[in-house]
Chain A
C-alpha cells in the first residue's frame, strides 16, 4: 500500500471521518441457537453436531429461548426498543461451512432496534453512540484449508468443522458515527471495549476477542470538512470500506488509523475510494481488499418459514430489564471509590482498558494498589513493547495476585518477582511454579549472607569507615555488591542489618 503517505492527523485536517461498527457477540448459552448440541469452545471437530446443525434433510430448527432472553437483555442494556414481534429470515448463500447453505438470521424485523450507549473515553469525556439494531443469528462452521496458500483457492483440500455452526450470535450494528475528528480511533476502540464490558457484566458472553467470542467489523468513510460557515450534515457520506474481523481493541484503533490514512491519500490524489470489503492483517497493521461490493451477493432474504415469530410479552421484558447490571461508567465510579485511586490513576487504568482486569486481580486477593502497580507498570510496558492488549497477555489476574502474594509474604523481592512473571509470560506456569522451577527465592541464610557481607567489606574497606563515621547510607554500596554476588536473591533488609552490626552501628 504505497498510497499511505498522508498521516492520520493530516487527513483529518481536511476530512470528516464517518464510521460504523458491527460487533458479533457469541452468546454463552449451554446449547446452540436452534438445536440441543453443546455450545462450547475447543472440542474435537464435528463432535458437537446433530441433524439440525448439520442441516441434514428433514431436520428443523427450534429457537433456544435462553438465547432470545440474552439478546433482549443485551438490547435493553444498549437502550434499544424491543420489537413486539420479530421474525427470523433466511440469508441464502452457498458456502461449505454453512450447513444448510442459508443462515438463519434476522433481516427487516430485528428483535432489538434503535438504541444508544454512552462510551466514556480515557479523559472522562462521554460520547453517545447510536445503535441501529441488535439481531439474533446463527454462526457458521469453520473451514480449514490445507495446502497451497491457506486460502480456499489453491488449497489441496479443505476440512470443515461444524461445532461452531449454529452457535448463537447477537450482531450489534451502530448508526453512523460522525464528527469525532482525531478521536475517531479512540472512540471506536472505547465503544467496542464498552460492548465487551456490557456483555461480560450481563453474563451472556465471555467477550473474549482473542477467542473470537467477540468479533468486530469496522466500516469507515471520509467526507470533506464543511469548512467555516458550512453545514457538515449537508455533505454526503463517501464510499466506505468494511474491514472484517478486527479482533482486538488495539487492532480497532490501528485499522481506523490505517483506513483514514489510506482513503485520505486516495482522495487527496484525486482518486476514488472503492466500496469494498477489506481484510485486516495483524502482522502488518494494514488492510487489503477483499470482495468488491459492486459484485455483492444477493442474499435473497425471506421470512424463515420453519420458525414462529419472536413475541416477548411486556411482562417478560420488564422482568429482564430488572436484571440489568449497572452501566460500565457507574461501575467504574464505584470501583474508583472502593480502590481509592486518584482521578489520574483511574484515567490511566481506563485508558489502558484495565478496569476489569484489576477488578479480577483484586477479587483474586491482591490489594488494589498492588494490582494497579503490576498491570499499569511492568505488564503495561511488556504489552506496549510486544504490541498487544493487556487482556491478551498470557497472564491471568490470578497469576498476578499470586505474584503479589509471593512479594508480600517476603518469598520474592521485586526483582525476583519480575523474573517469575517473565517465566509465566513465557508459558512456564504460574508465578509460584516458575519460582520453584527456576529456584527463585530470597536468600536469608544468615551464615551465607554474613560471609558475602564480609567479602564485600573486605574489598571496599573505605566504606566500613564511612559507616562508622555515621554515613549510614554508604551501606547501600555493600548491599548492592552482596545482591550482585547472590544473583539478586539476598534478603536486602537482612543484608543491611548484618552490615550495620559488622560496623558496630545500630540500624
Chain B
C-alpha cells in the first residue's frame, strides 16, 4: 500500500484485518513521515520510535497467532505532553519539568496501551496548556501544516498539527477552554471535548481542574468516535469521573452518516456569530447551516445572553485554580532546581522564575490575586456565579434544541508572533469555546471549508447537553459526510504539500 500515513484509523483497521498491512508498517510510516516533516512542523517534543515499534511488533505477532485484539490495536497514536507517561519524558511544554521522568501512566495512557495502540510520541503544547497558539511552549512553537508561518492553534497545537501533517492518524488532546477544538478548527482536523468527567483526568497535568477535559483528535468524525470509546469511561482514581457507561458515539457517527439529521433541532447561538468574526468564517458557517438544513435538521436561532461574561469569568477561574495547581513546581521533589545556596524560599523563587514562561507567570499572578483575602468574593465568587448563569443559559437552550452550533473560533490561523505581545486579543480566540468548559458540556469542532480570503481552514463547533456526547457525533458525521461528498475528499486533501516535502 502507498501513502500509508494518509490512511484514517478506520482504513488502517480494515487493512490490518484483511492482511494488506501490518502495524509495524503503519508505525514505520508514521515514524518516516515524522523524520521527513517534523523538522518544519515541530509537532513532537519526544518521539518514542523504539517503544512504538515494540508495541506494533507485539500486535502483529498476536494477530498472526490469531489472538483476538481490541479494534484499534496497532493504530499509532500521539499523546499531548500534558499526560504523564511512565518512562517517557513529560514536560507539559514547560522548562520547569525538563528531564522529569514520570513513574506512572495516566489512566488514558493505560487505556491506549490496553487497546494495544503504539504510542508514537508526545506532542507540543503551550506551557501548562496556557495559550491558543503553541507559541508559549518552552520548547519552541509548532507550525501549521497549511502554512508554516501560521500558528496551529493551542494549547494542543502539536496534536492537531501531527494529524494535519499526516504524521499520525489519531492523537490525544486536552481542552480547558478550547485547546482541542480551536487547534482542530485552524488545522482542518476534528477535535472533541467530551462531557466533564467522561474521560479520566488521572495523570493529566492539571491546568484548571474544574475545566480540564481530555479528548480525541482525528482527521474524521468517525475516527474521533473510535478513539473516544477507547479513552472514556469511569475511573475510580478520579473523584470527578462520571459513573455511567460511555454513550455509543461510534454508532451515533455511523447513524449520522447514513441517515442524515431528519427531525434534529439545531440552534445557532446568536451571540457567537456576526461582529468580531472574520468574513470568510461567517460565510463558511452560513453555508454549513444550509447543509444542516438540507440534511433534514430544523435550524433556529437561540440566545445565550450570559455568554457576554464567559471570557471574564473564565480568566478568573482558570488562573485561580492554576495558581494553586502550579504551586507544586517548587524544586523540592522533581523537575528543575535553581540553587544559589540561599534559603528554601529563594531556591523556590529562583526555580519558578527560571522555569516558568511569561504567560504562566501572568496567570499565576492573576490567580493569586483573585483568591486573596478581600478579593475572593469580588473575583472568584462572582466568576462562579457567572458560571451558574451560563449553565442556566445552556439549560434553557437545550430545552428548545438538541444541539447548538457556532463557528469554533472568530478567525482562521493567525501568523506566528502576531499576538504574542497582546494577551487580550489572544484570549478572544477562545470566546466561542469557553462556555462549554464553564458548563461542563461536550463540544466538537470539525472542518467546514476554507476561508476565501486566506485559503485557511474554518471550523464549526457543535455543543450538546452533558452526558449525551453521542449527539455531537451524529450531527458531526452527517455534516462531514455531506461536505466530503461536495469536496470529493476530506478538507485535508486540499492542504498544500509541505515545503520541500513530497506528499
Contact = CB atoms under 8 A, between A and B. Distances in A.
Contacts of A306: 206, 209, 239-240
B203 A300 contact: no
B320 interface: yes
Given A55-B333, A60-B239, A100-B328, A302 B320 contact: yes
A158 B347 CA distance: 13
A30 B372 CA distance: 36
Contacts of B380: 302
Interface stretch (A91-99, A264-272, A371-379, A402-410): A91-99
B39 interface: no
Given A58-B106, A306-B239, A92 B371 contact: yes
Interface string B352-371: 00000000000000001001
B324 A51 contact: no
Given A56-B102, A63-B239, A298-B373, A100 B327 contact: yes
B84 interface: yes
B457 to A, nearest CB: 31
Given A90-B324, A152-B344, A57 B333 contact: no
A324 B104 CA distance: 41
Contacts of B368: 300
Contacts of A160: 332
Given A60-B237, A306-B209, A55 B202 contact: no
B211 to A, nearest CB: 9
Interface string A287-311: 0000000000010111001111000
Given A51-B103, A99-B333, A101-B330, A58 B206 contact: yes
A54 interface: yes
Contacts of A308: 239-240
Contact of A57 (B102, B209, B321, B348): B102
B383 to A, nearest CB: 11
Contacts of B334: 56-57
A237 interface: no
Interface in A54-85: 54-63
A191 to B, nearest CB: 31
A60 B238 contact: yes
Contacts of A102: 324, 327
Interface in B235-254: 236-240
Contacts of A323: none
A153 interface: yes
B210 interface: yes
Given A58-B106, A305-B210, A158 B344 contact: yes
Contacts of A57: 84, 90, 92, 97, 100, 102, 205-206, 328, 334
Interface string B123-138: 0000000000000000
A63 to B, nearest CB: 7
Contacts of B201: 60
A302 B322 CA distance: 12
A94 to B, nearest CB: 6
Contacts, number: 101
Contacts of A99: 328, 333
A183 to B, nearest CB: 37
Most buried by A among B102, B236, B333: B333
A51 B330 contact: no
Most buried by B among A51, A58, A92, A102: A58
Most buried by A among B106, B208, B238, B239: B239
Interface string B116-160: 000000000000000000000000000000000000000000000
B225 interface: no
Interface in B150-176: none
B97 A56 contact: no
Interface in A154-188: 158, 160
A286 to B, nearest CB: 28
B372 A55 contact: no
Most buried by A among B209, B343, B380: B209
A58 B102 contact: yes
A153 B346 CA distance: 12
A148 to B, nearest CB: 12
Most buried by B among A62, A92, A301: A62
Interface in B288-327: 320-321, 323-324, 327
Nearest to B204: A58
Contact of B239 (A54, A56, A62, A90): A62
Contacts of B320: 302
Nearest to B83: A58
Contacts of A62: 236-239
A298 B324 contact: no
B376 interface: yes
A500 B316 CA distance: 98
B104 A51 contact: yes
B15 to A, nearest CB: 34
Given A58-B206, A92-B324, A160-B332, A300 B372 contact: yes
A86 B154 CA distance: 37
A58 B239 contact: no
Given A57-B92, A57-B102, A302-B371, A101 B327 contact: yes
Contacts of B203: 58-59
Contacts of B239: 60-63, 306-308
B371 A101 contact: no
25 contacts: A56-B84, A57-B90, A57-B97, A57-B328, A58-B83, A58-B84, A58-B90, A59-B202, A60-B202, A61-B239, A62-B236, A90-B324, A94-B327, A96-B330, A96-B344, A99-B328, A152-B344, A298-B373, A300-B323, A300-B371, A302-B321, A302-B371, A305-B240, A306-B209, A307-B239
Given A56-B102, A298-B373, 10 more contacts: A58-B90, A92-B371, A94-B330, A96-B344, A100-B328, A300-B368, A302-B320, A302-B321, A306-B206, A308-B240
Top 3 closest pairs, chain A to chain B, by CB: A101-B327, A300-B371, A305-B209
Interface of B: 83-84, 90, 92, 97, 100, 102-104, 106, 201-206, 208-210, 236-240, 320-321, 323-324, 327-328, 330, 332-334, 343-345, 348, 368, 371-373, 376, 380
